[in-house]
Amino acid sequence: MDALNILYLSAEILPYAATGGLAQVAAALPRAVRRLGDDVRVILPRYGLIDPDRLGFTRALERFPVPFENDVLWAGLWQAPDPDIPIYFIEHQRFFGSRQGIYSFPDDGERFVFYSRASLEAMRHLNWRPDVIHCNEWQTALIPNWLRTTYQDDPFFSQTAVVYTIHNLGYQGIFGHRVLQIAGIAQQGFIAHPDIAPTLNQVVSMMGRGIIFADIITTVSPSYAREIQTPKFGEGLDPLLRDRRERLFGVLNGIDANAWNPADDPALAAPFDSDDLSGKAACKAALQQEMGLSQEPETALVGLTSRLTEQKGFDILISVLEPALRLLPVQFAIMGSGDPRYHHQLADLQQRYPGRLAFHPSYDETLARRIYAGSDIFLMPSRFEPGGLDQLKAMRYGAVPVVHATGGLKDTVIDHHPPEVGTGFRFTPYDGMALYAALVRALEIHRHPDIWRAIQRNAMTRDVSVDAAARSYRQLYRRARSLKLTGRPDALINS
């Protein structure tokens, strides 16, 4: 395979800026593709929380012009001292440098339009021509639009294809018309698909534009790729996705298998692996101790690390916790932050069931590792889950997942259903009763150590590494080039 130049854009990338799974994937996938031979480079904004001096950044470009709303703004470009992959940062004081957070500013539309446009222009000034640009989420969704319009006859970009990845259709980037003026594409108007939700055709859905203009669209699991073509999961954009289904692919997320390895993880009380699980008992005892749970080696310990939001299934989970604590032989170790309503409910349960339910109200990666290692069962009752990474880590650490059969959870957790040993337990439909029943089923099997071990081993030896995704993306990058489109999808845009 000839090597390609791939520019990978994500608004968050670990260890520099992170709010969720996107940052983990954006850290692992480009590196894995690069190891396979393509020249992958990544680029994100230099947010205020990223200190270039402390991190030893160097200036890659001092100052370059970026077209912005009939005018030109100036940007700079930093590079991190990473020996494995070039990581660039767009410097702009007003939009990024002077602020602490990543998102949720009133001018997010302007900010990410600027970041996207500056990323393109930076490559021109570096004289590094991308064969494919891999965009992620709404923050970078205007790039496919520009490449097929504004940059279509630009010799530097005229051969560049775009792969656009949806990590969560729930965050679309909805803005008013002004964002098109800023982007210099006001004359193209709104999306005007006859079947699109009426609420969406008088505003700019950045995600929607990414979908209609990209050469290839991907999402983070095959099941989610199917689900988003239905009204139930399509967030109003399912008609666009159905139109483009031949260019829509589900590529399962993976994790960095070296960074998540129970045989070699300094956060754990004892190492273990799929051949010798004895260290896991020590991890369980240590977790019970650390979180204030009673020392009960036999009781099934159920772990959960999550944002506390409805998407993650907290509405049904909360209804099930109290009956489970009253009636079942379980303990719960729950970690995460989010909706204050769920914080209160969990804190209340912790108080009323001391030693049985422990709640750590913020995200802490070290504790997360100990929860995967110390738990017998890992719960992920998400209402929908495009990909999901926590169930992969849990499986690798021998915590048997109990999940709602949706999206990436459905694709990675195989139900224990004799004679199928499986890698966990799935439930459907999405309701408290089905979740409770799956938990009861898992606890019943947990009483049989031999069967339980077999499930654990299956889960632990499943290939959950990002390398399979990297191989698929290399093929999709080549496909995007051969399927590269030119011109505007007229049927979809008002003129």
Nearer CB in complex with ligand GLC: 271/386: 386
Element (H, E) at 295: none
Closest CB to ligand GLC among residues 40, 403? 403
Judged by CB under 6 A, the stretch of 14-22, 104-112, 146-154, 331-339 that binds ligand GLC is 14-22
Residue number, 236 or 386, with CB nearest to ligand GLC: 386
| Residue 21 binds ligand GLC, judged by CB under 6 A | yes
- At its nearest, how many Å lie between ligand GLC and the CB of residue 408? 6
- What is d(CA 66, CA 272) in angstroms, rounded to the nearest whole number? 52
Which residues inside 402-431 make contact with ligand GLC, applying CB under 6 A?
A: 408
Please say whether the dihedral angle defined by the alpha carbons of residues 207, 214, 137 and 394, taken in this order, is positive or negative. positive
**Does 235 engage in binding with ligand GLC (CB under 6 A)?**
no
> For residue 399, what is the DSSP state?
P
Owner of token pair 């990845």: 165
Stretch of 16-24, 241-249, 256-264, 319-327 lying at the interface with ligand GLC (CB under 6 A): 16-24
Residue 25 binds ligand GLC, judged by CB under 6 A: yes
In the list 119, 140, 168, 458, the residue contacting ligand GLC (rule: CB under 6 A) is: 168
CB-based contact 470:29 (threshold 8 Å) = yes
**DSSP class per residue in 425-474:** EEE-SSSHHHHHHHHHHHHHHHT-HHHHHHHHHHHHHS--BTHHHHHHHH
Name the residue nearer to ligand GLC (CB basis): 22 or 439: 22
Residue with CB nearest ligand GLC? 21
> Using CB under 6 A, which of 169, 268, 389, 464 touches ligand GLC?
389
Q: Assess 220 for contact with ligand GLC (CB under 6 A).
A: yes
| Residue 271 lies near ligand GLC (rule: CB under 6 A) | no
Give yes or no for residue 392 binding ligand GLC (CB under 6 A). Answer: no
End-to-end CA distance of the chain: 41
* Single residue of 271, 313, 388, 424 touching ligand GLC by CB under 6 A: 388
- Say how many residues touch ligand GLC, by CB under 6 A: 14
Region of residue 235 (left: phi > 0; alpha: psi -120 to 50; beta: else): left
Binding mask 301-340 for ligand GLC (x = CB under 6 A): ----------------------------------------
Q: Distance (Å, rounded) from C-alpha 361 to C-alpha 302?
A: 16
- Nearer to ligand GLC by Cβ, of 188 and 305: the residue is 305
Integer angstrom CA distances of residue 406 from 98, 207, 240, 307, 423: 40, 22, 21, 17, 15
At 169, give phi and psi (nearest 5°). Answer: -70, -15
**253 contributes a contact to ligand GLC by CB under 6 A:** yes
Q: Per the structure block, which two tokens stand in for 472?
A: 């698929």
Instruction: Give the CA angle between residues 394, 395, 396 to the nearest 5°.
Output: 90
What whole-number distance in Å separates Cα of residue 242 and Cα of residue 230?
A: 8
Give the separation between CA 474 and CA 219, rounded to whole angstroms.
15
Q: Which of 387, 401, 422, 424 binds ligand GLC (CB under 6 A)?
A: 387
Q: Does 22 bind ligand GLC (CB under 6 A)?
A: yes
Taking contact as CB under 6 A, which single stretch among the options 147-155, 286-294, 321-329, 386-394 is the one that binds ligand GLC?
386-394
Binding residues for ligand GLC, rule: CB under 6 A, are 20-22, 25, 167-168, 220, 253, 385-389, 408
